[in-house]
Amino acid sequence: MARRRGGRVRATPGLGGPRPDPYAFGHGDPRFHVEHYDLELDYRVRTNRLSGTAHLRVRTLEPLSELRLDLSGLSVHGVLVDGAPPARYRHRGGTLTVRLADPAPAQTVLGVHVTYAGAPRPVASPWGEVGWEELEDGVIVASQPTGAPSWFPCNDRPDDRATYRTSVTVENPYVVVAHGTPVAARPRAGATTWEFDEPYPTSTYLATVQIGRYADVVLVDAPVRQRVLVPPHLVAGARRRLARQPQMMDAFVDLFGPYPFDAYTLVVTPDPLEIPLEAQGMAVFGSNHLGSGADDDAGRLVPHELAHQWFGNSVSVAGWQHIWLNEGFACYAEWLWSEVSGGPTTDALASDHHDALARLPQDLTLADPGPSDLFDDRVYKRGALTLHALRRTLGDAPYRELVHTWTGRHRGGTVTTADLRALAAEVAGRSGGEAQVARVEELLTDWLDRPALPPLPGPAPSLPRRLLDHLRHPTSSRAPS
């Protein structure tokens, strides 16, 4: 989740009536699945005017007489279902309710077409305003966790993953980057239409559009194409800050498994941001993170956002209750990269953060932190410590097997904390039998289900010498272009 520096934080009083999942925040509908979004957007930067048409391929999961889509702050001009008007539709309170002309049985595929327009603005949330937001000269879309409805009608649930085609027309000389593979940039009458194809299953909060006056700099072409879009005056600073990006990618492929997407794009906005954010195949940073005179914090934020491509984007959570699976792995990646790159060791950082957490209130349960504490820093740090404790208990080789199995088995899918428990028991059984399974299950109960901070088990693990040697003294001839 990200906000512009200095943005307002407003709590949302009363997100609706009783709901079965308090972590859904009144968004999304589990009764249907959106298989594909086809978005045609026309945006005017100077006037902040967005016109859109959204074509959704929807599959019903149970018999339905209506569909409820999330869309906030924009006006709906028309709705069609399978090319014909529905019985009726109503757009109120951020929800577009479409009454079907005829009830649809389960497993019916419907084509839903929505035309809409307005001045897009972020959605208020307990963590600040999220979604489509104007920069001083351009746009940032930071949708985690509930901001996607600020720019397109959607089933806003992290577990409802879809493919996308996104087309954005914007006046010249603005550049557009969206999640997915660039397909075309078609100039016409003072504007350009930018088209992107996203074939990988993507959660709505990971869909994004970024608009600005950007230079496109290729950091490395292969084996994973990595590029940064950055304001021209910040190119030199971004190059400096990202000089080790290819080696970081190599390290994470070794530690986590194959990179799950076709490419990786970084965006540096001209404005400062409070924190960066991840999107599908992309990460967005502020000028204060990667520009000239950037914050020292960038040294840990860059690996954190890259790690999210495996943990959160490729393997996504089935619900926000399990957010530690995204943030714990990404935070642990910061510590791993520190050791790989010659900084403090993973074990030293874990010990330091354990000491710091021990001085904080012991009232957060990692497996069920509560909706208001999703982005509490204790979720991040305790999540990373849980993984470090698990690695200490399993041993380095079994832990490596666990991580590679996790990212491979669940690639393109969704997971829960129970899935991690099951895999840990599976790996423990292979490496140490029933006694090791019992140790791992007890450890995870202590770290995930009880608020009191457990001690770190020993002994301290260390990264494989071959990985440290290779990355501290790379033999690869690849270099940023």
304 annotated to bind ligand? yes
Residue 94 and residue 89: Cα distance in Å, rounded?
13
CA angle 70, 75, 76 (to 5 degrees): 70
DSSP states along 222-254 = SSSEEEEEE-GGGHHHHHHHTTTHHHHHHHHHH
Cα dist from 98 to 15, 102, 103, 285, whole Å: 21, 11, 12, 37
470 annotated to bind ligand? no
In the residue annotation, 380 being an active-site residue is answered as yes
Beta-bridge mates of residue 333: none
Catalytic residue, from 23, 214, 380, 399: name it. 380
Question: Cβ contacts of residue 134 below 8 Å, gap of 6+?
Answer: 48
Return the CA Rg of the chain.
23
27 annotated to bind ligand? no
Q: Check if the beta carbon of residue 126 is closer than 8 Å to that of residue 146.
A: no
Residue 242 and residue 428: Cα distance in Å, rounded?
38
Pick the closest to residue 2 from 93, 167, 125 (CA basis): 125
Q: Check if the beta carbon of residue 155 is closer than 8 Å to that of residue 288.
A: no
Catalytic residue, from 129, 195, 305, 334: name it. 305
Tokens (6 digits) for 319: 């619900």
Beta-bridge mates of residue 196: 166, 182
Q: Check if the beta carbon of residue 351 is closer than 8 Å to that of residue 456.
A: yes
In the residue annotation, 305 being an active-site residue is answered as yes
Q: Check if the beta carbon of residue 2 is closer than 8 Å to that of residue 273.
A: yes
Beta-bridge mates of residue 3: none
Pick the closest to residue 28 from 413, 281, 318, 316 (CA basis): 318
Cα dist from 409 to 98, 224, 314, 365, 401, whole Å: 37, 21, 11, 27, 12
Q: Which residues are catalytic?
A: 305, 380
For the annotated binding site, the residues are 304, 308, 327
For the annotated binding site for Zn(2+), the residues are 304, 308, 327
